[in-house]
Structure 1
Amino acid sequence: MIPHTSIFCTTGQPCPRGGIWQSMGNFKTTYPVMKGCKMPDYCGKKIKWVLILEC
């Protein structure tokens, strides 16, 4: 069995793996991002994202 390791990325960085990403913090949103695309901001703010579903 392979242990699950969370994958994180920050606004402006290239996406390391394509899939559905969820914002971290008090307000949650999800966003699909393709591998290599820049990670988006959230309401104009730089945030940290966590991969929840790899595609």
Structure 2
Amino acid sequence: MIPHTSISVVTGLPCPKSGIWESMGNFKTTVTLFKGEPMPEYCGWKIKWRLVQVC
């Protein structure tokens, strides 16, 4: 299920909603996170993540 409004968060902040998150930028990857977990880095870089599916 894709959310109606886009939710994005940067590395280091707590995950606001459990689900599958996709990296924004040139390189794409996804991670599954639970609410409250810190948003991860990608290859050592602080990036922005976008929620693609709510779990």
Stretches (4+) displaced over 2 A: none
Unpaired runs of 5+ in structure 1? none
Unpaired runs of 5+ in structure 2? none
Name the CA distance, whole Å, in 2 between partners of 1:33 and 1:10.
13
How many residues align structurally?
53
Q: Percent identity?
A: 64
Q: Which amino acid aligns with 1:13?
A: L
- Compare CA radii of gyration and give the structure with the larger one: 1
Q: Does 1:14 align with 2:14?
A: yes
RMSD: 1.2
Equivalent residue number for residue 26 of structure 1: 26
